[in-house]
Amino acid sequence: MRASSRYIVFGTSIFISAVAVVACSSSSNDGGGGKPASDKIGDVSLFSVQTSTSASASFTSQGKDICQENDSFVACRIFTCPPADGGDPVATGGIPYSAGAITLSGGKIPGGSVTLQPKADKTYDLLQLGSTIWSGGESIIIRAAGDPNGVPAYSATLTAPMPLTLTAPTWSDGGELSFDTTRDLTLTWSPLSSGQVNVFLLGTAQGQDITGSCTFDATTPGATLSKAFLSQFPAGAEDGFFEVNVSERAAQTVADWNIYSGLSQDAIRAGGGTANTSGGSTTVVFK
C-alpha cells in the first residue's frame, strides 16, 4: 500500500506515516490560525508502534506546499495532493539546515539517550530505536546543540501520552474497513489521556490524493467524523488508508525558526493490532 511509505516527509509529527497532512498544514500551524512570520520550519518527532520507536528531524526554509487545503470541518481538514507514483516523493522541499547534534533522553531510551547527527547535506537519517520508549507519563527531552550557520540551540520537554485503545470502529486484518460517506462515523477510545488524538484518512480519485486530517482532545472518550467531512471522499475512491494515533506536541519560536516537537503512538485496536492500515492486508473502501 503506497501510504505506508510515501508520506514520510515532514520529519514529522506525524509522524512517519500519513505525514503529508502535516507537511501540507505546517505553514499555517502557528496556533493562531495564520501563517508563521518565517518560512523556516523545524520538526523533531518520535513515533512509537507496538514494539519499536523511530525518531526523525528536519529543518528547512523556502519550502512550498504541494497540497492544497480544500475545506475544513470543525476539527478536520481536507487536502488534495498530487500522486507521487513514478516521480519525486511528496515533500515540502526547501533548503535543509542543520541544528547540530540532537540528543533525545528520558523514558526508556536504551542507554539513557540517543543522538541524531546531521549529515553533510544537513539532513538527518531516520533513527530506529528498536523498542517502545514510553508507557505514558514519562518526560522525553529533545535537545539540539545548534549550528552557527543554521538552527540555534534549543530544547523541549514533552510528557509521553498514554497508550490508546480504539474501540470503534473495529476491523480485522485481511478484511475490509468500509466508510459510508453519507453518514457520520463515531470513534471511541480509552483510556483518557493528555494530548490529542489524530485521525488520518486517505483515498485516491481522478488522479488526486484526497487526504483528511482530524485532531481531537484526548481527554474526551470519543469524537465524530461528520458526513460533511466523509463526503469529500468520493464513493469508489481507491488506495485507501486510515490511521488513529495519540500524540503530544509542542511549538516554540527560536530566533527566526518555528520549531515543532512531537511524540506519537499508534492506537491499538480493541481486537488487537495497530489502528493503522499502512503496510497491512486491510482494504479501505469508500461507499
- Quick one: DSSP state of residue 24? H
184 pLDDT higher than 90: yes
Alpha helices in the chain (DSSP H): 3-6, 20-25, 227-230
Dump pLDDT digits (tens) for 87-105: 343 445 689 999 999 999 9
Backbone angles phi, psi at 23, to 5 degrees: -60, -40
Average pLDDT, the chain: 82
Alpha helices in 161-222 (DSSP H): none
- Quick one: DSSP state of residue 218? T
Poorest-confidence range of 13-17, 96-100, 219-223? 13-17
Measure the CA–CA gap between 246 and 267, rounded to whole angstroms: 7
Measure the CA–CA gap between 153 and 189, rounded to whole angstroms: 38
Q: Are the C-beta atoms of 102 and 153 separated by less than 8 Å?
A: no
Poorest-confidence range of 57-66, 188-197, 268-277? 57-66
Q: CA torsion sign, 273 to 278 to 280 to 286?
A: positive
Q: Which residue has the higher pLDDT, 3 or 242?
A: 242
For the chain, the structural domain boundaries read 3-286
Give the pLDDT score at 206.
Answer: 79
23 pLDDT higher than 90: no
Give the pLDDT score at 92.
Answer: 52
Question: Quick one: average pLDDT of 152-173?
Answer: 93
Measure the CA–CA gap between 49 and 37, rounded to whole angstroms: 35
Give the pLDDT score at 143.
Answer: 98
